Amino acid sequence: MSLEIELIDSKNKEKVISEIKGRGLSKYASYEEGVKDIVSDVAENGDKALFSYTKKFDGVDMDPSKLIVTDDEIKEAYETVSKDLLDVIRKALVSIRSYHEKQKQNGWFTTGDGIILGQKVIPLENVGVYVPGGKAVYPSSVLMNIVPAKVAGVEHIYMCTPPGKDGKVADSTLVAAHEAGADVIYKVGGAQAIAAMAFGTESIQKVDKIVGPGNVYVALAKKAVFGNVSIDSVAGPSEICVLADESANPRYIAADLLSQAEHDEMASAILVTTSKDFAEKVKTEIEGFVPQLSRKEIISKSLENFGHLLVASDMEEAYDLVNAVASEHLEIVTKDPFSDMTRIKNAGAIFLGAYSSEPLGDYFAGPNHVLPTGGTARFFSALSVDDFIKKSSIISYSRDALEKIHTDIETFAKCEQLTAHANSIAVRFE
């Protein structure tokens, strides 16, 4: 592990920013053609291709009779999952649901002088949720992707997750999906599952939108099917940026940086501070923690490749760097974090104060943990109820209301040489 303290200057500032952006899917262009082939095969050949890839990549002989998780399998999962975990899932559900219910939008109308204008808010009808499987078990992601869809009023939620070698889905994943309200759970994963939901097969329902995390093949498949269906985002590796001053506890900050570095070797962990002495203390704490942690090899490579301890000359420079990085997760642990937060323009989720560490958002607080990565927090937001609705504009004019402006509309249409547009208005006043 090589993690050195760096004084911020224009050169290393640009280096950090380019690293964050460079961890995206552009590094995996060599996989793209293979993923497109899988997507095309499933789109053309349906179940036949889907089950062939399930055999090839997951080692499971799948057919329509085994595809859907049964009530008995869900019952068995409840019997296996501990009461403590079930209680935690249900408590987290309350927090997540309560937070997302505040995001609900209602339709509206304005009226006057023969004019009615409005907006109709309509939930999506069919949504697909992808959940990683195999070695990865993320019941928290199940909750975060399904709950906002349920709150939005989505009619049907279909979930795809790869089976283990035994043809089964992890018990905690099944319990979380059932508690959150998934309607159907399919035992398929990878790029082939994304294609199946995007185009539909003999056994899998075509959906209107696909959400949920996955590996590079899943991310590239989502990118490939976008346009045929909507997607939440093309997510990259996880990242954390911590803005801290000398008032922070260096042991806490080190632990928080490592909480994201353990995700994978491409994860990024960045400290921005104005105190070189504080950065030294954080470095010492990191070096003490790493050997004790179960994923120390992954953490070491993550820190070596994408870890930074950056010292800014003042808070203005620190704000500029944090906004340029536009991190997925941003912790502000300073004397006045709420004041410093007002200077932040770009971050997926902002955690304020010493006792609001990033895992709080991953599991329990309520805000969604599906967040923009790779600097895309400059223009993307967290997954929300908004992702599961669409809006239709409502327009109604009486004859009298239209008569007052019909010549204005005709003038505009003629300016654009769209005489049929102009005529559509003019014929009503012949």
Nearest CA to 224 among 27, 19, 29?
29
Sign of the torsion formed by the C-alpha atoms of 245, 248, 250 and 256 = negative
Phi, psi at residue 330, to the nearest 5°? Answer: -125, 120
Strands (E), 142-290: 156-160, 184-186, 209-211, 230-231, 239-244, 268-273
In whole angstroms, what is the distance from residue 365 CA to residue 358 CA? 10
329 catalytic, yes or no?
yes
Q: Which tokens sit at 402? A: 């239209």
Q: How would you classify residue 333: left for phi > 0, otherwise alpha for psi between -120 and 50, otherwise beta?
A: beta
Which two structure tokens, joined as six digits, stand for 284?
């010492």
**Structure-block tokens of residue 56:** 């090839």
**Residue tagged 């937070």 (tokens):** 99
Q: Are 157 and 130 in contact (CB under 8 A)?
A: no
Q: Is 76 a residue of the active site? A: no
CB 152 within 8 A of CB 211: no
Beta bridge partners of 6: 310
Question: Under 8 Å CB-to-CB from 156, ≥6 apart: which residues?
Answer: 125, 126, 127, 183, 184, 205
Among 100, 329, 358, 369, the active-site one is: 329
CA within 13 Å, CB half, 20: 28
Pick the catalytic residue from 179, 328, 331, 410: 328
- CA 94 to CA 92: how far, in whole Å? 5
C-alpha to C-alpha distance for 35 and 219, rounded to whole angstroms:
10
Q: How far apart are CA 230 and CA 210, in angstroms?
A: 6
- Residue-by-residue DSSP string for 330-353: EEEESSSHHHHHTT----SEEEES
Q: Which residues are catalytic?
A: 328-329
